[in-house]
Amino acid sequence: MKKIDFVVLIVCIMMFGACKGKTNGYVLTGTVPEEISNGEVVYMTDYHDGLIIDSAIVKKGKFVFSGRADSAMARFLSLQNMQADVIVDKGTMTIDLTDPYSAKGNPLTEKLSEFYLQLGEVIMLIRNRIAEIDESLTDEEKENLEDTIFKDFFTEVDKIAKSYLEDHPNDALGALIFYIWMQYQFDLTSEKFVEASQLVGGYVMNFGPVKQMADYLDKIGKTAVGSPFIDFTVPNGNRDGSAVSFSDYVGKGKYVLVDFWASWCVPCRMETPILADVYGKYKGDRFEVLGVAVMDKRDDSLKAIEDDGSAWPQILDAQAIPLELYGIQGIPHIILFGPDGTILARNLRGEELKQKVAEVMKR
């Protein structure tokens, strides 16, 4: 190859790369309130994996993000207590962080803003209808009317979400709207989720938050009331450091009230007197209480057990193992298991816990 030809080739490659970068590039310019100081940081988080992928410095009330956008991407902007969802795509975009629905510059992010605004209008309408309920009605009449109003709300949310998903069943906008829609479902079950998923494609179902929701619902479905317990083993779960399995306690012919807790969890520690009450009243051949310390340091768990006077058996160092198996997203989470290991009740607390234990012990 002649030298001149080689130079031309290199120039062509460079020009192609530059053109391609320009074609697929994006610039997002934003404004913030006047009181925001220079040097404050706006973060851009990827909705798919929840990781912060970029940041921009505030200067004279403005910030700028730029980069490549080979395809539309769902992003989350945050600054102090301000936040906004955007669909980043090639081209230029603008947003005012004082108005999270002000993003403009590409069709998808503008449609997302439209979706949020419609959702907001329905929410305000429902709030007004509840505020206008006649106080002279009986409690039962008020409750029935509220049920009707909330039913109307969920129906409207369904209509709005489905109208957008008809045109965007398999892109970043559809993924974000589907996720938000599912969050607004009352008593979302795996069956409802699967039915709704028929409206969308693989892109949406593989969207990070949607995938996590599917996994959670699957675990909840497998450990719902009426399901058999799922066993697990903690290598050093006993106080002497030896291995212990959940099945060493559950499914052995007793009712077992299992408290998933941690020493740092104040609400968990507040349930301890209630557990002590039922343990003292019913412990024996038919009833047992079991503590399972999760997401905690072993020494901290042991100290809390001593300080609180928890006399029942404990599994230590369980960490996230049972949380993942049982789809537990917050603690305390207290589950009642039957003599054969069947789950009888989940997420028991306070007086409801006492009443449920009393009910089964009468059998």
Helix/strand/coil (H/E/C) assignment for every residue in 163-218: HHHHHCCCCHHHHHHHHHHHHCCCCCCHHHHHHHHCCCCHHHHCCHHHHHHHHHHH
Q: What is the mean pLDDT of the chain?
A: 92
Question: In the chain, what are the domain boundaries?
Answer: 3-105, 108-222, 233-361
**What is the pLDDT, as a whole number, of residue 220?**
87
Q: Which CATH number fits domain 3-105: 1.10.10.60, 3.90.650.10, 2.60.40.10, 3.30.70.1140?
A: 2.60.40.10
Alpha carbons 279 and 276: distance in angstroms, whole number: 5
Q: How many CB atoms lie within 10 A of CB 325?
A: 16
- Averaged over successive runs of 10 residues, the pLDDT of the chain (363 residues) comes to 43 40 82 95 95 96 95 96 95 95 94 95 93 92 92 94 97 97 87 94 96 91 93 96 97 97 96 96 96 97 96 96 92 97 96 96 89
Alpha carbons 63 and 256: distance in angstroms, whole number: 56
Q: State whether residue 230 is helix, strand or coil.
A: coil
Q: State whether residue 139 is helix, strand or coil.
A: helix
Superfamily of domain 233-361: Glutaredoxin (3.40.30.10)
Alpha carbons 205 and 179: distance in angstroms, whole number: 9
**What is the pLDDT, as a whole number, of residue 3?**
45
- State in Å, rounded, how far the first CA of the chain is from the last one: 92
Alpha carbons 71 and 75: distance in angstroms, whole number: 12
**What is the pLDDT, as a whole number, of residue 21?**
42
- Cβ-count burial of 348 within 10 angstroms (0-12 exposed, 13-18 middle, 19+ buried)? buried
Nearest to 294 by CA among 259, 318, 313, 324: 318
For 116-171, what is each residue's pLDDT tens digit?
999 999 999 999 999 999 999 999 999 999 999 999 999 999 999 999 999 999 99
Hey, what are 155's tokens? 């129906």
The pTM of this model reads 0.74
Tokens 């049982």 belong to 326
Using CA atoms, how far residue 18 sits from 21, 29, 48, 92, in Å, is: 5, 22, 28, 17
